[in-house]
Amino acid sequence: MVFSSVEFLYFYLPAVIVLYVVCPKRFRNAVLFATGLVFYAFGEPIYVFVLLLTCIIDYFAGILMSKYSEDQRIKKICLIVSLVLNLGLLGVFKYTSFIAENINAVFGTAFSISLPLPIGISFFTFQSMSYIIDLYRGNIGVQRSFVDFSAYVTMFPQIVAGPIVRYKDVESELSGRQLTAVGFSDGIGRFVRGLAKKVILANNIGALWEEVKASDYSSLPALTAWLGIVAFTLQIYFDFSGYSDMAIGLGKMLGFSFPENFDHPYVSKSVREFWRRWHITLGQWFKDYLYIPLGGSRGGLWKTVRNLAIVWLLTGLWHGASWNFVLWGAWFGLLIIAERLFLGKLLEKLPEIFGWLYTMLAVILGWVLFETESISAAFGFIGALFGAGGSFSDGGSLWLLCEYSLVISVCVFFASQAPENFRHRFESRLSGLGVRADAFRLAEPLVTLILLAASTAYLVNQSYNPFLYFNF
């Protein structure tokens, strides 16, 4: 599917940006709306109507809320209708087949329902719902322009894989924003870094995982299994954070400030910390619109446990309609509940290395559930990690280790905080020598140009580069 590849996004941008910059300010939201629809329609043209329907539902729900702002009953009806319709669309397209499969398994029936999943429906549904919920709460003002509201929902840089941008994040920028040379330059740098993460790091380390994933897990050497899942652990980080960087960079070029979505998650010392650093906008969405309305941690210990369990089961289901994702959400929910009850205090008393090792083991086992095709396959792979394949290594393991050791090392380096630490130390030394820190920043355009050239070369040589999170 051309839509879900880096190449389409990469080569679509210049024309859109030129059109956006040269058009009068009052038409820029219309350009965003139109180009968002065109961008989405390239993937699955028929499902652009689902996107438009989402815009229509929440726009008119918001207008009615504003018109009857003093009538709490009507406002609540508008909210409920909007949520039911939004979640109904999400449920029909994302979970109908899953429900049918489970009914067939339980009752021996033979329902066959297969609906292609609209790309990014989980993202744009949550994004649009945040508007209507915040409007109901009185946290934002109503958007009376359908074009401006739809420009927010269909904004192509982040519509299909986040970050999840809530309306209040860009409310003022929708009505008035400035395009500056500094913002545009920063945006280009951020976009190119994200592009390089995807096509240079994620794609290369992902090739190792694809090779291991295709193996027979029952006879997979432990070393091969660990190399494979470590590769996927790095791949999904660079793939997803790379897209987020590209989206944030594009936002800067268009005059928007999108929220950050990642903050070095693989340096975390606990699972709770990991989820404060990974997919930040999703975690904040569930916290503000589900966990806190359920009562959060205000109702005592066991209600807190209940609320966490609900949030994490739904987080798993949000990612996909399969028991693997349900178990994935339950896994992290159990660990976070354990950390809330007792494990967190224990980790604080131990040296940080133990917290990091525990967290990485928990995350890696979670990625096995996330990426394998069935629960039996997941447990088969986990068994291989711990020697069920019958051997620690073989010739193939050592060959993979030799072939990918450099790529793994580079990915580990850039997934850590080492690059930032190195830069700060280097700038500090320059300052000590009487050299202004600005001199170091003069090299940034050159680095950006080198990364752009290298990424373009990879795109020319590779025919298809899908983003992993476009599936959600």
Catalytic (active-site) positions: 319
Instruction: Give ∠ CA 342-343-347 in degrees, rounded to 5.
Output: 130
> How many helices, marked H, and strands, marked E, lie in the chain?
22, 0
The gap between the terminal CA atoms of the chain, to the nearest Å, is 15
DSSP state of 466: B
Q: How far apart are CA 244 and CA 265, in angstroms?
A: 14
Nearest to 55 by CA among 9, 80, 89: 89
Query: Which amino acid appears at position 97 of this protein?
Result: S
Output the six-digit token pair for 185.
């330059």
Contact between 281 and 162 (Cβ < 8 Å): yes
Contact between 321 and 332 (Cβ < 8 Å): no
If phi > 0 it is left, if psi is from -120 to 50 it is alpha, else beta; for residue 115 that is beta
**Bridge partners, residue 466, by sequence:** 5
* 10 half-sphere exposure, CB direction, 13 A CA radius: 24
**Bridge partners, residue 5, by sequence:** 466
Instruction: Give ∠ CA 167-171-172 in degrees, rounded to 5.
Output: 165
